[in-house]
Structure 1
C-alpha cells in the first residue's frame, strides 16, 4: 500500500489538521485511490516532517508553538511521541536531519534562527548544554545586520536598507546537507544562502552567498552533480549555485520560473526534482500551477519546460513519487496527483484529488 505521513496546520495557524495524518491508497491502484485516513499522532501545527535516516522516527516542526517534536513508529500506520517537544524558535518551518542521524537543523521563519538539535542513538531530541549553547551561537535574529559594530559571525546585509524604509527582517526557511558535510540554509528576509560547518560547539558560519535584493530564497534541492538549486519566493526564480576549488559557494546562473509567473502574485513554495535530477518542479501559489524546469549540462543550466494546473488552491508542498506528482493544497483542504510525462518529465493531467485537512507536507512512510 502506498502511504504518506501528512503534515498540516491546526487551529493556531488557521487550519483544520489535528496532528500528523495518514494518506494511503489501495495496493492495486495506489495513486487514484489515495485518501486521508485520519490523524495518527495528535500535535499542534506539524507543518514540516522529516525522517531519521536509519530509524523509524519522524520529526515534526510545530510551527505555531515554535517547537520540534519526535515521533516513533508504533505499528503499521501509527506514531507515538518520543520524548517531549524541544523549543527551537518562532515559526519553526523546516527540518533537515544529518545523514549520520546525529543531529537535525531547524529553520525558524519568525526570528531567523538556525538551530542545531542533537539526536541520541534512539532518535530522541537532545537539547543538552552544548546544543543549547550552539543554538544560541547559531541564532540569526531579525535585526538589520548592516550596522556598525556587528558582532563577528553575524550576517552582513549586502543591500543596505534605503533611507526612510522599514529595516529588513531575517527569515530562515530551509536547510540542505551538502556532500562535504557542510550545511546550506536560506534566509528569505536577507536574500542570503548561508554555508555552515558542523563543529563541536554546534554550527559555525563559514560564508554567505548573496542573491539579488528582494528575491527571497526559500527552498533548495541538491542536484546529483553537486550543484545546488534555490527557488525564490518573491522574484519567482531558480538560482543555481556551485562550489569552487576552495569550497566557496557562488552563483552560476538564474532563470525565471515561468514566462507567466508574476512576482507579487505568484509565490513559489517547494522545489523538488526527478530522481535523475533532469527535471525540477516548483509550485506557484497564486496562479496555483506547477512549473517544470529542465536541467542540462552538468547541472548548471536550468530552462523553463512546462506549466500545468496543480489541481489545488495554494500548493504549499509537492513530492515526486513513482511517476506522479503529489501536491498539497493548503487553502483548498485537498491533495492532488498529477501525471508526469515519462519522456519529457513535464507535469500533465490531474489524475486524482482527495480531501485532507489543511495539508502542508508529504513524507513517504518507509
Structure 2
C-alpha cells in the first residue's frame, strides 16, 4: 500500500518539504505488513499538516496550516500531484479538512481563530467561496475562572499567558460528516462538540454538547453502533457521545487513557472490526488500547503500550497493522495487532519520514 504523508515544513519548524509518499509493503496490496520506505516529496507545499481525498475525483486536499488555507491537488501520476488552482484562505492555523461524502463541499477547521469554514467544490473538485459558520459560545462563560482572575490581578502571569485571562478562545480542530448528513465538529478551546444539520443545502448549528471544562476535545472516531468517541488533548480521556430518541446528543460516559502529567492526547482510531479503540498520548509517547463494551456505548482500558516514536501525532489502523507517525523522531513505524487482545506487538518495520503529521492511504 502507498500512503500520502502530511508534514510540517520550515514555516512550522519542521523538516518536511511538502506532501510525501510512504510505501508500506507491496504497492498493489491492501495490507501494510511489509517493509516501510519513504519515497520523498510528491509535491512541494508549506506545512500540509492534514490531508483528505475527494470521494470520486483524483483530488487531494491539504491544510496549509501556517498559511491558513486549503490547497487542492490533482493526481498527475502514480506518485505525483500538482496544484489545482490557488490556495483558498480559511482562517488562522487551518489544521483539518473534511470532504463531504457527495463531494460537493468541504469543511476546514481553524485552530488559531476557531473558524469552521465551508467551501463549495466544483465538478473538478476545486474549492471556492469560503464561508465561516456561526461561532461557538463558551458553555462555561457564566462561571468565574478563579485561576484566570488571579492571573489578571497579578498582571505578570496574565501577560505571560498571551491571551485575555478571562475569556477563553475558540479553537476548532476537526469536522466529521456522518452518514445521515449530520456534521460534528470539535472545539478544543471551548470544550465543545458541535452538532450541525443540513437545512436547504446549508449547514445549520443544531446543538452544542459541553464536555468537562479544560478537557480539550480534539479528534473523533465514529463507531458502527452509532456512537461517537472523542479523544481530549488536555485531560487525556475518551468520551462517548450519541443522540437519543429525540435526536438530542448527550455524553454517555468517559474513560481515562492513563496519561502522565504533561501528556497531550493526539489521534483516535478504531480497530478493524470496531472491537478496540486506539488513542495516542504525546509526551509519554504511548498508545492507549480501549476495549469496546456493550452496544458500543462503553469503553474500558485494555492496555497502554510504548509507541517507539517521539510525539505520536497521528496513527491509523489498516487491517491487522498499526501505523504510527513520530513527529519529533521523524519516522513512521508499524506493529501487528493481536486479534484477541487488540494490543500492538513489537515494532516490525520503521522508516525515516521528516516531521510527519498525517497519513492518508492512496486509493
TM-score (norm: length of structure 2): 0.91
Kindly indicate whether the alpha-carbon contact (under 8 Å) linking 1:161 and 1:168 is maintained by their aligned counterparts in 2: no
1:147 matched residue in structure 2: none
Q: 1:59 to 1:285 in 2, by over 3 A?
A: same
1:343 Cα shift? 1.9
Q: Which runs of 4+ in 1 moved over 6 A?
A: none
Q: Deviations over 1:253-281 (max 9, x none)?
A: 111113xx22x411110000013211100
Q: Report deviation, 1:25.
A: 3.5
Once the two structures are TM-superposed, the CA of residue 59 in structure 1 deviates from its matched residue by 0.6
Structure 2 counterpart of 1:18 = 17
Give 1:73 shift: 1.1
Q: How far, CA to CA, are the matches of 1:34 and 1:265 in structure 2?
A: 31
> Residue 145 of structure 2 corresponds to which residue in structure 1?
162
| Residue deviations 1:68-95 (CA, integer Å, cap 9, x gap) | 0111111111111111110001001111
Deviates more, 1:156-165 or 1:355-364: 156-165
CA separation of 1:287 and 1:235: change in aligned 2, threshold 3 A: same
TM-score by length of 1: 0.90
* CA distance in structure 2 between the partners assigned to 1:178 and 1:365 by the alignment: 22
Note if contact 1:95-1:104 (Cα within 8 Å) is conserved in structure 2: yes
> Does 1:104 find its partner at 2:106?
yes
Instruction: Give the gaps of 5 or more residues in structure 2.
Output: 152-164
In the TM superposition, residue 199 of structure 1 has moved relative to its aligned partner by: 3.9
How far apart are 1:201 and its partner, in Å?
Answer: 6.9
Give the 3-state SS of the residue equivalent to 1:231 in structure 2: strand
Moved more, 27-36 or 302-311: 27-36
1:224–1:276 CA contact under 8 A, matched in 2: no
Q: Which residue of 1 aligns with 2:53?
A: 51
> 2 CA distance for matches of 1:195 and 1:30?
35
Question: Which of 18, 28, 35 is equivalent to 2:37?
Answer: 35
- Say if 2:273 is the partner of 1:276: yes
Alignment of 1:76-87 (within 5 A): 76-87=78-89
Alignment deviations for residues 310-344 of structure 1 (CA, whole Å, 9 cap, x no partner)? 11100000010131111111111111111211222
2:52 match: secondary structure: strand
Change (3 A) 1:311 1:338: same
User: Aligned residue pairs: how many?
Assistant: 342
Following superposition, the deviation at residue 51 of structure 1 comes to 1.0
- Equivalent in the alignment of 1:145: none
Gaps of 5+ in 1: 141-153
CA contact (8 A) 2:316 2:323 kept: yes
Equivalence for 1:229: 229
Alpha-carbon contact 1:173-1:186 (below 8 Å) kept: yes
Take 1:169 and 1:289, find their aligned partners in 2: how far apart are those partners? 29
Q: Aligned to 1:252, what secondary structure does the other structure show?
A: strand
- Tell me, in whole angstroms, the C-alpha distance in 2 between the residues paired with 1:236 and 1:292: 13
Q: Find the residue that maps to 1:265 and give its secondary structure.
A: coil
Contact 1:9 1:17 in 2 (8 A): yes
Counterpart Cα distance in 1 of 2:257 and 2:304? 10
Structure 2 residue 318 is the aligned partner of structure 1 residue 321: yes
Alignment of 1:297 with 2:297, yes or no, is: no
1:179-328 alignment runs, 5 A limit: 179-200=179-200, 202-258=202-258, 261-262=259-260, 264-328=261-325
Distance 2:25 2:256 in 1: 39
Once residues 25 and 176 of structure 1 are traced to their aligned partners in structure 2, the CA distance between those partners, rounded to angstroms, is 27
Please state how far the C-alpha of 1:198 moved relative to its aligned partner. 2.9
2:5: which partner in 1?
6
- The alpha-carbon deviation at position 55 of structure 1 amounts to 1.6
Would you say the 8 A contact 2:32–2:321 is kept in 1? no
State the match for 1:149 in structure 2. Answer: none
What is the DSSP-based 3-state SS (H/G/I as helix, E as strand, rest coil) of the residue aligned with 2:11? helix
